């Protein structure tokens, strides 16, 4: 079942069949109709490898993430796949697993397969590898990395805005001792959140004593330990750099018998799937992963790739659930 059979049945040349499939405008409607009929009758599907070989376009996109096991990524991957297949692209997902070697492998796999674009949704990416992709002429889009360049777009998340939303929410609830659980400072995104905490807290005339800051490593266990360290400082609220550490903090509080939110409020960051199922449900700053995926696709899609890439900024959204509440105890009615 190849293009020749279709051509024969439609009584045209293979060129016309190809043109009908790819750019219907260059073909007379009557001819096109005959060709489409033949295609349907024969249940013809063009061979993608032949197509890629001769056109040079693979119609495959690469997606590089850290680790599909990290709950931040599944939503991102799913949304990216959805938009890609809507546009008849296939996607190859690769996990760096935070290892430089593995990352190199990811890049070379993608380059070998001649993907038409690469979305790099992990922050660990050596500049050398970015250059390698640029030399290969592949459009790329990153999340929170450097500035755009040649065929190189960037999506930036307004983390600082997210932290502001969180703190202002707490301030509105009359909190005055707001602690912060940091993420790993080698991650730019974690660093931005921490600095924003410092800045916004000062703007609101809150203490940012170093005793109100703990390291949560962006993990549940880290958040647990951090919360334990924070407890003696009597904060009335805690902002965590991500949901995982907020969940760890929640566990620590539960174990210590501290009630949330009546005695202490907690806000996470990310809005991973699980956050709406914690007890109490976690108030958090949502990173709009579906939107990021859509933008990433758009950045890579051939009709919008220009020599000089663009930069997009996406806003976070405060999702208020049940882990935050007023710092002022309701007085018993006399």
Interacting residue ranges for its own copies, rule: CB under 8 A: 45, 47-50, 52-53, 58, 67-69, 71, 74-75, 77-78, 81, 85, 90-95, 105, 108-109, 111-114, 220-221, 247-248, 251, 254-255, 273-274, 277, 279
Instruction: In angstroms, give the least distance from the CB of 2 to DNA.
Output: 4
Query: What is the C-alpha to C-alpha distance for residues 199 and 201, in angstroms, rounded to an integer?
Result: 5
Q: Is 22 in the site for DNA (CB under 7 A)?
A: yes
Query: What is the C-alpha to C-alpha distance for residues 171 and 77, in angstroms, rounded to an integer?
Result: 35
Query: What is the C-alpha to C-alpha distance for residues 24 and 181, in angstroms, rounded to an integer?
Result: 57
Q: Is 53 in the site for DNA (CB under 7 A)?
A: yes
Instruction: In angstroms, give the least distance from the CB of 223 to its own copies.
Output: 10
Q: Is 31 in the site for DNA (CB under 7 A)?
A: yes
Instruction: In angstroms, give the least distance from the CB of 53 to DNA.
Output: 4
Instruction: In angstroms, give the least distance from the CB of 128 to DNA.
Output: 24
DSSP secondary structure letters along 174-211: T---EEEEE--TTSHHHHHHHHHHHHHHHHTT----GG
Q: Is 26 in the site for DNA (CB under 7 A)?
A: yes
Q: Is 47 in the site for DNA (CB under 7 A)?
A: yes
Query: What is the C-alpha to C-alpha distance for residues 123 and 3, in angstroms, rounded to an integer?
Result: 44
Q: Is 2 in the site for DNA (CB under 7 A)?
A: yes
In the chain, which residue ranges form alpha helices assigned H by DSSP? 3-10, 14-22, 29-42, 48-55, 73-86, 100-112, 127-135, 159-172, 188-203, 220-230, 243-256, 289-300
104 contact choice in DNA, its own copies, none (CB below 5 to 8 Å, kind-dependent): none
Question: Between residues 77 and 160, which has the closer beta carbon with respect to its own copies?
Answer: 77
Instruction: In angstroms, give the least distance from the CB of 29 to DNA.
Output: 8
Q: Is 12 in the site for DNA (CB under 7 A)?
A: yes
CB 141 within 8 A of CB 120: yes
Question: Between residues 192 and 246, which has the closer beta carbon with respect to its own copies?
Answer: 246
Q: Evaluate the CA torsion angle 300, 155, 133, 84 in order and state its sign.
A: negative
Which one of 33, 40, 55, 174 is in contact with DNA (CB under 7 A)? 55
11 contact choice in its own copies, DNA, none (CB below 5 to 8 Å, kind-dependent): DNA
**In angstroms, what CA-CA distances link 50 with 32, 36, 46, 302?**
22, 20, 8, 20
Token reading at 236: 């009335």
Token reading at 212: 């109100």
Question: Between residues 72 and 159, which has the closer beta carbon with respect to its own copies?
Answer: 72
- Residues forming a β-bridge with 320: none
Residues that bind DNA (CB under 7 A): 1-4, 11-19, 21-22, 26-28, 30-31, 44-47, 50-51, 53-56
């Amino acid at each position: 079942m190849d293009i020749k059979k279709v051509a024969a049945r439609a009584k045209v040349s293979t060129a016309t069949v190809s043109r009908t499939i790819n750019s219907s405008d260059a073909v007379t409607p009557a001819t096109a109709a005959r060709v489409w009929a033949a295609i349907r009758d024969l249940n013809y599907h063009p061979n993608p490898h032949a197509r890629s070989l001769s056109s040079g376009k693979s119609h495959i996109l690469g997606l590089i993430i850290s680790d599909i096991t990290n709950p931040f990524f599944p939503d991102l991957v799913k949304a990216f796949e959805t938009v890609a297949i809507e546009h008849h692209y296939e996607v190859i997902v690769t996990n760096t697993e935070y290892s430089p070697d593995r990352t190199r492998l990811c890049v070379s796999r993608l380059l070998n397969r001649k993907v038409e674009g690469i979305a790099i949704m992990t922050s660990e990416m050596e500049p050398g590898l970015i250059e390698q992709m640029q030399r290969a002429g592949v459009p790329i889009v990153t999340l929170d990395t450097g500035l755009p360049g040649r065929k190189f777009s960037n999506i930036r998340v307004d983390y600082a805005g997210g932290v502001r939303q969180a703190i202002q929410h707490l301030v509105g609830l009359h909190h005055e001792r707001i602690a912060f659980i940091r993420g790993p400072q080698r991650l730019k995104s974690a660093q931005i959140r921490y600095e924003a905490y410092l800045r916004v807290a000062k703007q609101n005339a809150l203490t940012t004593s170093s005793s109100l800051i703990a390291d949560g490593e962006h993990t549940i266990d880290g958040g647990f330990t951090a919360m334990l360290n924070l407890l003696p400082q009597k904060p009335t609220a805690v902002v965590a750099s991500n949901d995982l550490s907020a969940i760890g903090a929640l566990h620590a509080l539960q174990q210590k018998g501290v009630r949330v939110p009546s005695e202490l409020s907690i806000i996470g960051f990310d809005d991973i799937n699980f956050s709406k199922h914690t007890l109490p449900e976690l108030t958090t700053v949502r990173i709009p992963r579906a939107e990021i995926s859509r933008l990433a696709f758009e950045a890579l899609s051939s009709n919008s790739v220009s020599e000089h890439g663009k930069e997009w900024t996406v806003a976070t959204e405060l999702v208020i659930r049940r882990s935050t509440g007023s710092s002022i105890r309701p007085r018993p009615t006399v």
